[in-house]
Structure 1
Amino acid sequence: MRHALQPVYSFPWPGGFLRALGTALHLKGELNMRKSVITLLCVLALPTLSSAANMREGLWEIQSQVDMPGMPVKVKPTVVRHCYTKEDVKDQKKVIASDNSCKVTQMKSSGNKVNWTMKCTAPNAATMTGETVFGTDSYSSVMRMNSAGHSMTTKVKAKRVGNCP
């Protein structure tokens, strides 16, 4: 299946970051939330959410940097690759099916920007807000998450690197 995210470097999926986060925040199931966040960022890159962006199908490299105030260990950047197919570009609903505990509750697009809010329910209750800015062969996003009195900011930059394998 071409929707699978593939780690590229510096992120022992689902290793170090998630174990450190789970230990530091005492949250169970953070892996599911992290996967939901990455899935959401991939879904938000689809052009049907922003008609001004003519995002192309193909292989995309997605870099993310997480900042968590108060964490004893700085989180290393993450790089994954994701293949957007013609079907993805035509109908984002095909890839939205993700974790049932997280739902996009608000989404507003204007020009090449999309602002959104996502809420996750127990056992990993959290609220996430973000903004994504699109280009033809790139997009960037900033997401803020609050959960159990802790906060996290994720910055994402993505670029098209070629055709899907």
Structure 2
Amino acid sequence: MLLALPLAAAAQTNGELWEITSQMNIPGMPAGMGAQTQRVCQGADPAQNATRDKERQDCKVTDVKQTATRTTVTMTCPQGRAVIDQTYNAARTEFKGAMRFSGKDGEMTMNMSGRKLGACNLQEASREREEKMAAMKKQIDARMAAGAAAQKREADRQIKECAAAVERMEFSRLGVYGECYKKKSDAQCKSTLDVMHRMSPAIGKACNARVAEFCKRYQTQEGFLKTKGDETVAQSCGVSTASIKAAQCPRAAQSGSLAFLGAFCPEESKPIAQEHCAGRDYTSKLGGKYAQFCQSYLANADFERAGGSQPQAAPARQGSAADQVKQGIGQGLNKLKGLFGR
């Protein structure tokens, strides 16, 4: 009885060292994926050998059939059912076989072949395998942590970019969130937004809120001026430049917002232009309060037509305000003579 314990312990530690080559075959995928060769220390129990790998430790062996030249092991796993079938040569030093797996995600076959190299210690092999798995897990965890950190940095960058878009009234910086703000039912927009939401819900939440804030600000005099009344932005926000002008021009006239009036409001600007943008009073006050207003008004061709529909802001010019006005004096006075009859 005393001798039985060492003999049993020896039986548990003695194993066979095999070199096993495997490759996967999945329907619809290139054949021979994931081919690899590894050395494995195996014991005499087929059931233990089948569930020794960490990814199969949750599997339960339901059937084992073994002859001198063939071993078949059937297992049920959380993901499905697996059958390992191996055929050996007469000396049992080589085998060929396959593991066939079927589950809710489909079927997979792993073809295998092996040759016996010699003896091994099961306990040492198990310890080495666990150490190797622990090292791999550590590497994977480190990579995942690095990936999560990189993803957070990118999320922070995009959220800041959306905030800057509102601060500077630059619609393009809102990216796809701006482009798809009023087109969420569009198939391409829906697909893109779904992918981005899965990657980072925080970005979508923050940037969608910023788009709403941008569009609200766009409909103010200050926001409309900063975007130069861009019709594309209006469409993306689900409004029209005409409706914004109709709402804001009377307010601009009441508050005396010359910049907005000169750029977008021909009817409200006309009396001011008649008074301050012609004659000696105009030329004697170069660079004064009405200089920029007059420049914008005179540069806007649509203002020459009564009830001009959608005038655009004047293009930027180089030099001081006085220089800018001087450049347009001759042309501007001629325009005003025809426009006001003076």
TM-score (norm 1): 0.50
Alpha-carbon offset, residue 68 of structure 1? 0.5
Report if the CA contact (8 A) 2:24-2:31 is conserved. Answer: no
- Find the aligned partners of 2:110 and 2:36 in 1 and give their Cα distance: 10
Deviations 1:105-143 (A, max 9, x none): 11222342122211102xxx2111231112321122212
The answer to which structure has the higher strand fraction is 1
- Find the aligned partners of 1:65 and 1:138 in 2 and give their Cα distance: 17
For residue 100 of structure 2, what is the aligned residue in structure 1? 144
- Find the aligned partners of 1:100 and 1:79 in 2 and give their Cα distance: 21
- Find the aligned partners of 1:81 and 1:110 in 2 and give their Cα distance: 24
Alpha-carbon offset, residue 163 of structure 1? 5.1
The answer to which structure has the higher helix fraction is 2
Show structure 1 runs of 5+ residues with no match. Answer: 1-55
Q: For the pair shown, which has the larger CA radius of gyration, 1 or 2?
A: 2
Matches within 5 A, 1:16-165: 57-71=15-29, 75-84=33-42, 88-89=43-44, 98=52, 99-121=56-78, 125-135=79-89, 136-162=92-118, 164=120
- Find the aligned partners of 2:30 and 2:46 in 1 and give their Cα distance: 38
Aligned partner of residue 27 in structure 2, secondary structure: coil
- Find the aligned partners of 2:50 and 2:117 in 1 and give their Cα distance: 23
Alpha-carbon offset, residue 78 of structure 1? 1.2
- Find the aligned partners of 2:73 and 2:40 in 1 and give their Cα distance: 21
- % identity of equivalent residues: 26
* Cα distance change of structure 1 residues 97 and 74 upon mapping to structure 2, 3 Å threshold: closer
Q: What RMSD in Å do the two structures reach over aligned CA positions?
A: 3.1
Give the aligned length: 103
- Find the aligned partners of 1:73 and 1:112 in 2 and give their Cα distance: 28
- Find the aligned partners of 1:107 and 1:130 in 2 and give their Cα distance: 10
- Find the aligned partners of 2:71 and 2:16 in 1 and give their Cα distance: 21
- Find the aligned partners of 1:58 and 1:110 in 2 and give their Cα distance: 18
- Find the aligned partners of 2:30 and 2:50 in 1 and give their Cα distance: 34
Deviations 1:67-100 (A, max 9, x none): 011236861311111134xxx34x6677676455
* Cα distance change of structure 1 residues 94 and 148 upon mapping to structure 2, 3 Å threshold: closer
Stretches of 4+ aligned residues off by more than 4 angstroms: 91-100, 162-165
Show structure 2 runs of 5+ residues with no match. Answer: 1-13, 122-342
Higher relative contact order, chain-length normalized (CA < 8 Å, sep 6+): 1
For residue 3 of structure 1, what is the aligned residue in structure 2? none
Aligned partner of residue 161 in structure 1, secondary structure: strand
- Find the aligned partners of 1:109 and 1:148 in 2 and give their Cα distance: 29
- Find the aligned partners of 2:48 and 2:20 in 1 and give their Cα distance: 20
* Cα distance change of structure 1 residues 100 and 73 upon mapping to structure 2, 3 Å threshold: closer
* Cα distance change of structure 1 residues 66 and 104 upon mapping to structure 2, 3 Å threshold: same
* Cα distance change of structure 1 residues 152 and 133 upon mapping to structure 2, 3 Å threshold: same
Alpha-carbon offset, residue 103 of structure 1? 0.8
